[in-house]
Structure 1
C-alpha cells in the first residue's frame, strides 16, 4: 500500500480539503474588503469596464447565488468540464459583455442603500462557503450549462473571486489584495489553459491581470510569449 506521505501525489482527501480552504480564504478576504466599504466608495470605478464598486459587488453576489444553486443541483450526467476547461467558454465577446454590463448596472441600481447590497453579499458568500464545505467534492453538479464535480466548481469560484478582488480594489489603494492561495489557483488555471507554465517572470497578481485582459502586454512580454501572446486573454 502506498504511503501518501511519501508518494508523489496529493492524497484525495487533502486535495479536497484544500479546495474548500482556498475558497474560504479567497471569499473571506474579498468579504473583508466589501464589509469595509461605504456609500461613497461604492461609486468608485473598478477594473471591470463600466462597473462601479457596487455593480461589481452585485456581480459577485450573483456568482455566490449561482454557486449555492449549483452545489444543491446534482447532475445525472458525467462532468464535461473541469476546473480548467470550464473557462474555455469565457472568451472575449463584445456584444455579450456589453449586454452583461448593462444588466448588472440596472440590477445593482435597484439597491437604493448600498448597505443592503453589501449585507446580502456578505451573508450569501458566507453561506456559499458553508455549502462548499458540506458538499461531496466528487459529486457532479450543474452550472452554466455544464457539469463539473463539486470540487472543480469550488475551484472556479475561488478563481473568479480572486480576479474580481483585483478589479474591486483598483481605486482602493489602502485595501488588501486577494488571498495568496486564490491567486495561486488563478495561476494554475491560466497555466492549464495555456498548456504550460507561463514563460514570463510574472507575479501571480500581474499574471492574473495580463492573462485576463486587464493589463496590456509589453513588447518584451509578447516576445517572451511568442505565438501564445495572440491567445491572450485566456478568459475574461
Structure 2
C-alpha cells in the first residue's frame, strides 16, 4: 500500500461523514433531483446509496469474524471495476427505492442518523479486530478506511451541481489519494489535486493526453476503480 493509513481511521471516517452530512442537511426536495457525478443518479439516489453503505459498515463493525484477513484498505477495491456485472441493476434499484420517499426530508434524516451511528460504532471498535463485508474479511480499521473513501468520492459526486456546498474533509481526500496510489503502485503526479485525482482515478473524468504521457505505461490502468 502506498502512503500511510490514517493514524485514527475512526476519526477520519467520522469527519468524512460529518462533511457529507453537512451537505445533505442543507438539501431540499428540489435539490434532491439534481444530477450527480454518478451516471443515472440524482442526488436523492446517491444519498440512498450512501445510506446503504453506512448501514453496511454499521453491520460489519458489529459482525466479528475469526477467518483470516483477505483484503486490506487498498485491495478491497480491486473487485470494483467500471460496468461490473450487476452495476446497471444496482443503479436501477437505487433510483426506484429513492423515489419512494415522497418527502426527501425522511431520507435526509435517515441518512444523517445512520452515518452518525456508524461513526460511533467505528469509534468503539478495535481497529485490529477482523470483520466481514462484501464477502471479504478486513480489519475494522481497514474497513473504516474503505468507508471513508466511499463517502468522500460520493461527496464529490453529490456536489457537482451544488457549487456552494461544503467540500469533503481533508482526511477523506487524503485517504482517497492513498488508496489510489496503492492501486496504481506509485504516487500520482504531485501537481494533481486530491479532487482531480479522485475523479480521474475512479473514472469520473478522463485523462488528458498530457496526463497519459506523464503516467506512461501506467495510464492504461485508469480508472483504478469505479
TM range (shorter): over 0.9
* Residue 200 of structure 1: how far off its partner (Å): 5.3
Q: Matches of residues 50-199 of structure 1 in structure 2 within 5 Å?
A: 50-93=40-83, 95-199=85-189
Structure 2: distance between partners of 1:199 and 1:27: 28
Local SS of the residue matching 1:50: coil
* Residue 228 of structure 1: how far off its partner (Å): 1.1
Alpha carbons 1:200, 1:225 under 8 Å: kept: no
* Residue 94 of structure 1: how far off its partner (Å): 5.1
- RCO greater where, 1 or 2, for CA within 8 Å and sep 6 or more? 2
| CA RMSD of superposed structures (Å) | 1.4
Q: Give the TM-score of the pair, scaled to structure 2.
A: 0.96
Structure 2: distance between partners of 1:85 and 1:135: 21
* Residue 29 of structure 1: how far off its partner (Å): 0.4
Structure 2: distance between partners of 1:184 and 1:144: 24
* Residue 96 of structure 1: how far off its partner (Å): 2.2
- What does the per-residue CA deviation read over 1:176-205, in whole Å, with 9 as the maximum and x for residues that have no partner? 110111000000000001011113520001
Structure 2: distance between partners of 1:199 and 1:216: 15
* Structure 2: gaps (5+ residues): none
* Residue 109 of structure 1: how far off its partner (Å): 1.3
Structure 2: distance between partners of 1:200 and 1:180: 16
Q: Give the TM-score of the pair, scaled to structure 1.
A: 0.92
Find the counterpart in structure 2 of residue 3 from structure 1.
none
Local SS of the residue matching 1:136: coil
Local SS of the residue matching 2:195: helix
Find the counterpart in structure 2 of residue 4 from structure 1.
none
* Residue 110 of structure 1: how far off its partner (Å): 1.5
Structure 1 residue runs of 4 or more that deviate by more than 4 Å after TM superposition = none
